[in-house]
């Protein structure tokens, strides 16, 4: 919108055309309410804009637990919904209704009673397309020695073998003294995945070796 109509000089005559343009400028400058989950309060000192969290916006991959059962909010990897093995042994997609539940087992924990809810993606042999993608509970992301450290790598995740890679959705902390668990959310956005396939590395006088694949996840 052009701002020329705001360029007025002191003492300039207010014409009907100028007046209508100023009315339009005032209307265009109003703060509009964005929906039921926002509130606007106009005061003599300014305008307050607040968000109401009672609307219950649920981000993708949000892990919610009750006792030992948990649900994972629908999220996508390359536009595809992962599956989850529910408490009845049935494999269901995350977007199915009712939401599938999985039990959090204290048997699948790593050092310091830490575990993960994670995406486990299996690539096809060309490392270019997805074979399967599911949500699992596991005790490590890239190796048991890293179960209590940051599982992210600047140069990509190397995977766990058999064309598979894991990406953390939430971190589990088990407290044996009280037999309770805490869940810390990690992922909050739909994801895209890509991979740099392994390559043959040759050094003089040594047999050729294959490098590790590098998997990359980033917000969709």
Residues 145-170 have pLDDT tens digits of 343 344 444 567 888 888 999 999 99
What gap in Å lies between CA 167 and CA 135, rounded to an integer?
10
User: What residues does each domain of the chain span?
Assistant: 4-54, 63-219
State yes or no: pLDDT of 211 exceeds 90: no
- Which residues does 77 contact at the CB level (< 8 Å), separation at least 6? 119, 121, 130, 133, 190, 191, 192, 193, 217
Structure pTM? Answer: 0.68
Neighbours of 148 (CB within 10 A): 14
Average pLDDT, the chain: 81
The continuous run of DSSP H or E covering 63 comes out as strand 63-66
- Work out the pLDDT band at 77, boundaries 50, 70, 90: very high
């Amino acid at each position: 919108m052009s701002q020329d109509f705001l360029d007025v000089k002191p003492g300039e005559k207010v014409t009907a055309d100028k007046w209508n343009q100023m009315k339009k400028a005032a209307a265009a400058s109003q703060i509009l309410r964005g929906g039921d989950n926002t509130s606007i309060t106009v005061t003599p000192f300014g305008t307050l804009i607040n968000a109401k969290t009672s609307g219950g916006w649920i981000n993708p991959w949000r892990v919610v637990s009750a006792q030992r059962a948990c649900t994972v909010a629908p999220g996508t990897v390359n536009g595809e919904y992962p599956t989850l093995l529910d408490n009845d042994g049935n494999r269901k997609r995350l977007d199915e209704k009712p939401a599938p539940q999985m039990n959090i087992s204290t048997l699948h924990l790593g050092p310091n009673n830490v575990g993960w809810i994670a995406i486990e993606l299996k690539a096809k042999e060309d490392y270019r397309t997805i074979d399967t993608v599911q949500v699992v509970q596991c005790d490590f992301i890239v190796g048991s020695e890293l179960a209590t450290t940051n599982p992210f790598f600047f140069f990509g995740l190397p995977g766990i073998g058999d064309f598979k890679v894991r990406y953390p959705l939430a971190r589990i902390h088990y407290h044996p003294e009280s037999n309770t668990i805490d869940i810390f959310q990690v992922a909050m956005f739909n994801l895209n995945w890509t991979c740099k396939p392994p390559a043959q590395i040759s050094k003089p006088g040594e047999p050729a070796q294959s490098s590790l694949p590098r998997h990359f996840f980033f917000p969709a």
